[in-house]
A and B are shown apart, each in its own frame.
Chain A
Amino acid sequence: DAGVTQSPTHLIKTRGQHVTLRCSPISGHKSVSWYQQVLGQGPQFIFQYYEKEERGRGNFPDRFSARQFPNYSSELNVNALLLGDSALYLCASTVTYAENQPQHFGDGTRLSIL
């Protein structure tokens, strides 16, 4: 079975632009979470969606938004990009919404802001 897949792999944008990152969870997984990992740091939680509803939100500005589709795939949108948004964006999935479940991560999308 395929793991968590993310697209694109790499992306270069300029300040002020908008970006959409995509994630397909493991087949059968209904929960998707998004994390931002700045170089040299641990991942920071952005959003979690389960059954198409937002179940958690981290300490990120309103420029960040996300949604989950009926097929459980997800999009992360970032508006008005800033230099500080340069990071590796990781998507993770689990079967259900349960804090004891190991999250399965994709390879991430590396976003560079010029």
Chain B
Amino acid sequence: AQKVTQAQTEISVVEKEDVTLDCVYETRDTTYYLFWYKQPPSGELVFLIRRNSFDEQNEISGRYSWNFQKSTSSFNFTITASQVVDSAVYFCALSVAGAQKLVFGQGTRLTINP
């Protein structure tokens, strides 16, 4: 069975601070995919990034960066110079080969204060 753990339930920072959201996953499959989604108050889950198990290269997209480490089964998400618009619930999710279903973590509620 697969499992995703987001230990940080809530994080609150002041605007312009850097913040890292942690994600730890469990799976016995050798081929798997990791995702991050953002959920604003409207409810829609917005796709941010996908990583496959064979690609440990870190990725940067503007103020967002992701650190994937297979050795620690982690896929952490960092927002640099946070902004109020970054306030949302962020979910880490996992899918494995042969099953399109996503297994989500509990989510981290991020609040950026002006």
Interface residues of A (CB under 8 A from B): 3, 31, 33, 35, 40-45, 48, 55-56, 58, 88, 90, 92, 94, 97-108, 110
Contacts and interface: CB of A to CB of B under 8 A. Distances in A.
A92 B100 CA distance: 11
B97 interface: yes
B99 A104 contact: no
Interface stretch (B11-19, B42-50, B68-76): B42-50
7 contacts: A33-B101, A58-B101, A97-B100, A99-B96, A99-B97, A99-B98, A102-B35
Given A41-B107, A42-B91, A42-B107, A103 B102 contact: yes
B88 interface: no
Interface size for chain B: under 10, 10 to 19, 20 to 34, or 35 or more residues? 20 to 34
B66 interface: no
Interface of B: 4, 33, 35, 37, 42-47, 50, 52, 91, 93, 95-107
Contacts of B97: 99
A108 B44 contact: yes
A58 B37 CA distance: 20
Contact of B104 (A40, A43, A94, A108): A43
A35 to B, nearest CB: 8
B101 A42 contact: no
B107 A101 contact: no
Contacts of B103: 45
Contacts of A31: 100
